[in-house]
Structure 1
Amino acid sequence: MEKCQRHYTPCEHLCIDEQLLAFRGRCPFRMYIPSKPAKYGMKMILINDCKTKYLLGCMPYLGKDQTRLTPGIGLGHYFTKELTQPYHHTNRNVTTDNWFTSVGLVTDLLENCGMTMVGTLKANKRELPDKIKSKEDREPGSSAFLFTKEMTLVSYLPPVRNKAKKLVLLLSSMHSQPTIGEKGKPEIIEFYNSTKGGVDAFDEMCELYSCNRKTKRWPLCIFYLMVNVAVINANVVYTANLERTGGTNVPKRRRFMLHLARTFIRPWAQKRLSADTLPRPLKTLISTVCNLPSVANTQYPTGQVLAQCTYRQVRCAECPRSTDRKTRIRCLKCQRPVCQSHYYPTCTKCIELVTRRI
């Protein structure tokens, strides 16, 4: 996380949300969230750049550990302040959902951290007056505003013509005017909709092209997340540098991942190909996948038809000396003399393949 923050400067809008890592093994902090696609897993709190979806920070949710909290501060307040610490006093804005948002957090970020905040708010907060939470005598599509010196609260009733009308409450320290957009929604809601998807889009990118494998060990699950984060962040930095220098051939993320993976495994693959004990089919597979010449096959001589062997007759190296069995056949790899009982023939296609690589 320190390197991710060091090598990238985010835009003016950040987003904080939760991600659920799919995990069904035994873990003391595994959670069940029915609204998530994985449902069971480990909860991670992420902060992303709203524009490029670059991951800037990540913290695991380990439960309600009161030893880390100061009195009067909830978990949402704690995670938001910790994740935004590298960007304090930069006048950036943070977008959160109702699990994080509170009046105390908005005030703390504005007065002590030099940052603004926009987020949805739960209706059970004590700071909200009953008038702003009431749906009576409210027309569908109407908005009600409350103002203080630092914050703006909007209560929006969606234009739904049924009894299940639900108020949308948003708190903002960035907006100070009751502006209504072209679609009839308050400006605060339109801004929230445009910046809330940073973490969700990043989560979708992790699920689309992922290196995850089934495992029952939670440290390995965290390692898979680290690899996914490194690949996505590297792709964002590479694309930004390419556009900055005038490049037009921006590769797709899938091709970028394949190229990155082959670049990392090629040195280890070359080292494995030089081992004499590695089976030949495995060497062929490594050479094909990594586009490498087989080191072991380059030591083979050109294939020769068995009937045309012109070597002088010598004793077979595999048979006992007492048998005194003579042969003209040589091993294709080590050139040891072997009789027909210890000779394993090769088809013409394999001989042509070995000859071509030589």
Structure 2
Amino acid sequence: MSRTRFLLLTKFLHFVSNENLVSRGYERKVEKIAPVVDHCNRKFAEMYTPSQYLSLDESLLLWKGRLSWRQCIRTKAAHFGIKSFELCEAETGYLLQYRLYTGKNTAMYPGPLHGFNDKTAKVVLQLMEGYLDTGHVLVIDNWYNQLLLTRYLKSRCTDVLGTISRRRKGIPHAIKDLNPKQLERGVSVGRHCGDIALVAWKDVKLVTVLSTYHQHEMVPGRRAGQAVLKPTVVQEYNRYMGGVDLKDQKLSMFLLERKRNRKWYMKVFKRLLNTSLLNAFIIYLRNPMYRMYSHRQFRLKVTEGLLSRYPRVSSVPPRVPNQLQRLVLRLEPGESLPYLYGS
């Protein structure tokens, strides 16, 4: 099709009819893109079996327009945009589950979930639906981590590794009352309760890490070119936490959603389309064909395959500008040229 027709179809592309928008609250805000999100979540889970380590974190899609739930996260590359909760494979960045965040005033899950009423705990449990009782290790940061949630996940055969705030309920006083200014660099304090190990380690700042399958062990490492000793939980947390950031980094080289959009859900659709290509490439790397393609070459091959599968039905001849035709006047003998106005 021509470029003009493509832009016209894109302009009128909708996923839900406006006449069917009858929901309220969270469902009303995401209803414009809900069928696409549900379809992608279902296909992402069906087409891939993740490895042991899973990473849960938030991502930010750049959006500069007006939107009531636009967020600001300075640690992300976009800084301002549409926030989403994502569950990814830690080592490859494969996206498994995707949920949009629409502000603190709209409850994503109004009722209790597995006995939890805390909003953060319900986000974690909803994203982990389908991956419990299978022996996975969930790596999270201190915004999601809490002791009651950790014990429940451990009872569902899911280990937890992540940082935790010392102000959380249930943290022992031996760690809660630590003064970072009085600790020397490299000092670590550990406490255990059953399968849960809580380690506080002083590096540049005081870091508190929780794990359900580690002990208070130190391993050699390097920092700024110098040999240091660090806890095993800190080393593995640094290794497996960046699954969502790894996915964003891989997508940053092929931004299908870079073009400005007046509708926020069109940008989310393009982001999910771009993520689908990345997930397909990760599946391809697990079972490569006779030749290994790079990420860019893989996208080109997908494009060529789509063009060969859906060729142009009728070819429209290119427009050729009309050639200048000379006016030939045939005059009879003795006849003069006609008078032309302006000549």
The TM-score bracket by the shorter chain reads 0.7 to 0.9
- TM-aligned CA distance change 1:34 to 1:52, over 3 Å: closer
The runs of 4+ residues in structure 1 deviating greater than 6 Å are none
Larger radius of gyration between Structure 1 and Structure 2 = 1
What amino acid sits opposite 1:237 in the alignment?
Answer: I
The Cα of 1:74 is off from its aligned counterpart by: 2.6
Name the CA distance, whole Å, in 2 between partners of 1:118 and 1:94. Answer: 6
Answer whether contact 1:26 1:216 (CA < 8 A) is retained.
no
Which residue in the other structure is 1:253 paired with?
295
Which residue in the other structure is 1:173 paired with?
212
Partner secondary structure for residue 239 of structure 1: helix
Which residue in the other structure is 1:114 paired with?
157
Partner secondary structure for residue 79 of structure 1: helix
The Cα of 1:150 is off from its aligned counterpart by: 2.7
Which residue in the other structure is 1:274 paired with?
315
Aligned partner of 1:78 among 122, 130, 133: 122
Aligned partner of 1:54 among 94, 97, 107: 94
Say if 2:147 is the partner of 1:103: yes
Q: Which consecutive residues of structure 2, in runs of 5 or more, have no partner in the other structure?
A: 1-40, 222-228, 328-343
Say if 2:277 is the partner of 1:234: no
Say if 2:85 is the partner of 1:42: no
For each residue in 1:254-304, what CA deviation from the matched residue of structure 2 results, as whole angstroms up to 9, or x when unmatched? 111122123324555623x6135x6469xxxxxxxxxxxxxxxxxxxxxxx
Say if 2:233 is the partner of 1:188: yes
What amino acid sits opposite 1:59 in the alignment?
Answer: R
More strand by share: 2
RMSD: 2.4
Which residue in the other structure is 1:126 paired with?
169
Name the CA distance, whole Å, in 2 between partners of 1:339 and 1:9. Answer: 66
Answer whether contact 1:116 1:174 (CA < 8 A) is retained.
yes
Name the CA distance, whole Å, in 2 between partners of 1:202 and 1:266. Answer: 29
Which residue in the other structure is 1:163 paired with?
none
Aligned partner of 2:244 among 191, 199, 212: 199
TM-score, normalised relative to structure 1:
0.71
Which residue in the other structure is 2:57 paired with?
17
The Cα of 1:99 is off from its aligned counterpart by: 1.1
Q: Which consecutive residues of structure 1, in runs of 5 or more, have no partner in the other structure?
A: 161-165, 282-330, 332-337, 343-358
- TM-aligned CA distance change 1:37 to 1:69, over 3 Å: farther
TM-score, normalised relative to structure 2:
0.74
For each residue in 1:304-354, what CA deviation from the matched residue of structure 2 results, as whole angstroms up to 9, or x when unmatched? xxxxxxxxxxxxxxxxxxxxxxxxxxx9xxxxxx99449xxxxxxxxxxxx
- TM-aligned CA distance change 1:124 to 1:235, over 3 Å: same
For this pair of structures, how many residues does the alignment match? 273
Give the structure, 1 or 2, with the largest relative contact order (CA under 8 Å, sep 6 or more): 2
The Cα of 1:142 is off from its aligned counterpart by: 1.1
Residue identity over aligned pairs, in percent, reads 26
For each residue in 1:21-64, what CA deviation from the matched residue of structure 2 results, as whole angstroms up to 9, or x when unmatched? 00112223211222222111110111111122211111111223
